[in-house]
Structure 1
Amino acid sequence: MSSTDTAGTPPARVFVKVWDPIIRSGHWIMVLCFAALYIKSDKFPLHIYAAYVIMAYMLFRIVYGLVGPRAVRFWTFMYSPKTMVKYGIDSVVGHPMHTISHNPLGGAMVFALIISMLGTSVLGLMLYSAGQEMGPLGDSVPYQWEDAWFTVALFGQDIEVGLKDVHIWCGNIAASLVTLHLIGNCWASACHKTNHVLGMITGVKDAEVTDPELKHYKQVPEPRFAINLTKSVGPVFTEIILITGILICIVWPLVEVLSWVNRFVPSY
């Protein structure tokens, strides 16, 4: 829990540069690609090309999480299960710990998203090979696996499970995690009175002046956009407005454009 002064007033906050352009641009490319392949799941080759981009970025993110700037390195947001549970409880009662990088639950979501996105992508490549004999795997995956990959015994009956089934299940799990990620951002905004979407746009987040991690980050002025919007409607409504605006005004039109361009792109 963050320290407070004798009067019980929370420590003053300053603004620091946290997310670099690589992470920010990669995040928004991921948003676009996942929306394209999930909303337009029947559009090929758009679906598979978007998956290629997601897989490539996830692999890059793993490497970047080992050698990148401090805020994006995995060890800065790896917490014990006990800490994650405590953070979850504290966030309900209104006193969660404040972090500069990802909070304990946000950090866990990063790992969950990387695993689910990579797993779904690999299954998609196998399915593309089995069903279409295309993609990096060519015709190396048996075509029978598309509808009958393995068999499970359930209620005394053998049920065949295909790559298509598992791929769809994993895709829905990934979509559920994305939804939880959005809800978690709004919840964290309410708890910390700050805005995470703005941070992913500007690269700037707030930090408490008492935070020992502060010395590792460059202090910058508060983004003007944050002052005008957040102070007008509050951090939570700012988060909702930005998420809704980005999805409706930017992501959705771009997905429709990609869907149209899809007609002229050769499959691979």
Structure 2
Amino acid sequence: MNGESLVKVWDPVVRFFHWSMLSAFTVAYFTDDDLLTPHVYAGYLILGLLVIRLLWGVVGSRYARFSNFVRSPAVVIAYLKDVAAFRATRYLGHNPAGGAMIIALLVSLFAITLSGIALYGIEESAGPLAGAMANVDPFWEDVLEELHEFFANFTVALVVVHVAGVLLAGRQHGENLVRSMLNGYKRASLPEHSKR
């Protein structure tokens, strides 16, 4: 990076989670009911990755911890206004909008996996909820089906916004954030921004 000093920001767990989640979600989204076995396995992988990320968000490295990037809605809105005015502060870790996006993605992905496991129990009499879902009214099956599909499509929309945000932030701050998520390094921040 032209002699600029670099700092390790994204640890291997965060990077593994990010790219594994992208891969597993892509498989699950495009297999759907047509190829049920890979769809189900991808869903279980997503759930496992979510559990790991939740734990890592509490005990992980500095920039992986939720305490480092979860901000109030007011802070997120103020940051987005600064982005629109092209004066957003650069963060080494996740900026407030990025932190909000992570929470939205995690919640949406949990909704997908939990509704999917319930549907698997109802429709296939399989999975960890098969016994509990054995005699569920068809109304609830339809509700779960709609929720599962809604959150899958909502997650795609979130990913599109996430990628747009990454590209915009990278452009505003003159850095390749995709490369940072691949190799873990970012350009060292100015001292006044190094708190985050």
Please indicate, yes or no, whether the TM-score normalized by the shorter chain is above 0.5. Answer: yes
Asked if 1:81 corresponds to 2:73, the answer is yes
CA distance in structure 1 between the partners assigned to 2:136 and 2:72 by the alignment:
42
CA distance in structure 2 between the partners assigned to 1:32 and 1:113 by the alignment:
15
CA distance in structure 2 between the partners assigned to 1:139 and 1:178 by the alignment:
34
Partner of 2:18: 27
Partner of 2:114: 122
* TM-score normalised by structure 1 residue count: 0.68
C-alpha displacement of 1:164:
1.2
Partner of 1:200: 181
- 5+ residue gaps, structure 1, are 1-12, 151-160, 217-268
- 2:118–2:129 CA contact under 8 A, matched in 1: yes
What are the within-5 Å matches in structure 2 for residues 248-267 of structure 1? none
Percent of aligned pairs sharing the same letter: 32
Residue 91 of structure 2 aligns to a residue whose secondary structure is coil
Partner of 1:209: 190
CA deviation string 1:134-183 (max 9, x = no partner): 011123214544x4118xxxxxxxxxx43212211111111111111111
What are the within-5 Å matches in structure 2 for residues 57-76 of structure 1? 57-76=49-68
Q: 82-91 vs 125-134, which deviates more?
A: 82-91
CA deviation string 1:237-267 (max 9, x = no partner): xxxxxxxxxxxxxxxxxxxxxxxxxxxxxxx
- 1:124–1:167 CA contact under 8 A, matched in 2: yes
- 2:122–2:136 CA contact under 8 A, matched in 1: yes
- 1:87–1:105 CA contact under 8 A, matched in 2: yes
CA distance in structure 1 between the partners assigned to 2:46 and 2:11 by the alignment:
19
Structure with the higher fraction of residues in helix conformation: 2
Query: Bigger radius of gyration, 1 or 2?
Result: 1
Count of aligned pairs between the two proteins: 193
CA deviation string 1:29-56 (max 9, x = no partner): 1111111111121211100100101111
CA distance in structure 1 between the partners assigned to 2:89 and 2:30 by the alignment:
36
Give the alignment's Cα RMSD to 1 decimal.
Answer: 1.9
Partner of 1:238: none
- 5+ residue gaps, structure 2, are none
Partner of 2:87: 95
Partner of 2:167: 186
CA deviation string 1:33-85 (max 9, x = no partner): 11111112121110010010111111111111000000100011022222211
C-alpha displacement of 1:99:
0.8
- 2:76–2:97 CA contact under 8 A, matched in 1: yes
- 1:14–1:207 CA contact under 8 A, matched in 2: yes
Q: Are the structure 2 counterparts of residues 143 and 175 from structure 1 closer, same or farther at C-alpha, using a change threshold of 3 Å?
A: farther
* TM-score normalised by structure 2 residue count: 0.91
Partner of 1:177: 158
CA distance in structure 1 between the partners assigned to 2:99 and 2:171 by the alignment:
18
CA distance in structure 2 between the partners assigned to 1:142 and 1:172 by the alignment:
27
CA distance in structure 1 between the partners assigned to 2:189 and 2:132 by the alignment:
54
Residue 191 of structure 2 aligns to a residue whose secondary structure is coil
C-alpha displacement of 1:212:
5.3
Asked if 1:39 corresponds to 2:7, the answer is no
